[in-house]
Structure 1
Amino acid sequence: MKVGLVKKNIKKYEGYIFILPWILGFFIFTIFPIGFAFYIGFTDWNSFTEPKFIGLDNYISLFKDPNFLNSLKVTVIYAAFAIPLGIVSSLLIAVIVNVKVKGIYLFRTALYLPAVVSGVSIALLWRWILDPDYGLINFLLSYIGISGPNWLGDPAWVLPSYVMMAIWGAGGGMLTYLAGLQDIPRSLYESAEIDGAGWWTKFRHITLPMLSPVIFYNLVMGIIGAFRKFNDAYIIGGAGNQAQFYMVYLYENAFNFYKMGYATAMAWILFIIILLLTLLVFKTSPLWVFYSGELENGKKKKTKNKSR
């Protein structure tokens, strides 16, 4: 009787038993680190000694720190240019390669490859491309009689250099746009052509609305990626403090100066910034993001109202 009761209880909770490893992992590797990081942001800790609780001192000191304000400024300026240029270039490439010609798969693969190559390799490649004496860009500019700038050695050209690097990775976004383009019904374009619509009218009134969910996704991912820029900025740097991106300064505080509490406070501020920007994008999305399912539901509602 007792054995049967035990089996019955086990069967009742067997679902929870199966997901127990995931629950334990979630609490140990996600919830606990988040809670610990929240506490560390209010402490003075060098990773070796006992954390000393100092309240809001880290957060107050941050907004008095000129290097922190500069890193935030550099990152915001970079994001303001890199995000829209990345979206436009990815979309343009996707439209160009969305054709059925021989060898197009080779071009798609070549354009996508930079998105999957190691960030360290990309940084070293761009350090050579932007070299003022032996770099590829200045070498090509010399052929048309233009003396190329000292890209990473001149503070005025550091941010434009990093924006160019951001466009280099446009192949990653191209893949999602290409999938969206191929999902657009051909009948919509055929109907527009019958009405005499040109390529721009079709692109504006069919392609862009139908791709708006993909643009929305890439915009959110672009915001996150731009504010988390680190690899190439840390490896190749730049003149003055124009390559002192937010994540670079956070890393320096955590692992060069051993100011872990200070760096954790920076991480939480970055989290809040990204969260607010993402919420803003979500809030405005009903104004410009189009979902085909909504149109179908709207048509059904109109049909029902007419039948009544």
Structure 2
Amino acid sequence: MSRLALSLGCGALVIAISTVLPPATATTIRPPDVYAQGMSNPVTAEDYYQRGLSFLEKQDYNRAIADFQKAAQLEPNSVKAHLGLGLVHWLSNNYPETIKEMTKVIQMDPSVVLAYQVRGDAYLETREYQKAISDYTTALKSEQLPVTYFNRGRCYFFSQDYSRALADFDKALQLEPNAIDYYYFRGLTHYNLENYQRAIEDFTRVVTVEEYPPAYYFRSYSYFFLEDYQKSMTDINKAIALDNTDPDYYILRALNYWVVAKHENALTDARKALGMYEREGAKEKIELTKEMINSILLDMK
């Protein structure tokens, strides 16, 4: 959801590069495909830049990088060339280079909001959450995009600052009320704050649109903590039907069986989860599951 390709698309990025720049920096952008015709021998920085836009729109990232680099070499202070480079590196999942190029853009022109947004996204991907928060906060002073609130909220969430995360997810949903990803993360936040009924409401919004196994899993856990074991069992069965490869799902179902004294079923699921954890080499979960199995066996005596 944080990726610009999802929110804008490559074609829109071509437009964004020019529209985010101030008038003194931006130039008139001719349609990339038209401009690219006959551009086998570019000469000026502008030639390379325009052809780079064409390659960017076609998702030919290696050629786009080469052309933007040449444009930056010919015109070292070209904000748009470095912005183009940063965007292509971002779309290529090269986050260190994204940060490097967007930092250059910001140093040359601190008013380019897109540079803060994209650098923030790169910091989010590299788990440098405080740096990402700083960039998103700067971007939000100029442009109130729901995705920026959402991504800053995720940074707060991963930093376990759930109150601030909740505030940002609320704001993102005010601006974009149909974004399922936003409901999912707000549901996780309510879950971590032990607001289980609110979590259930958000996860329900998710599964109404998409049968997403983790949403069923966390809604199941929310029902479990509210001691509504029947609904919890229904949800965890659905999660397993959609994805039978996650041992955590079997642990939760084992808990549901155990709490209603269906010990044989609980043992079956716990042992299945144990085998999966052992194949994954998840040492801590292996030990916890062994303790769970021993406790179930004691209850059966």
The alignment's TM-score, normalised by the length of structure 1, stands at: 0.22
The TM-score normalised by the length of structure 2 is 0.22
Larger Rg over CA atoms: 1
Higher normalized contact order (CA 8 Å, seq sep 6+, divided by chain length): 1
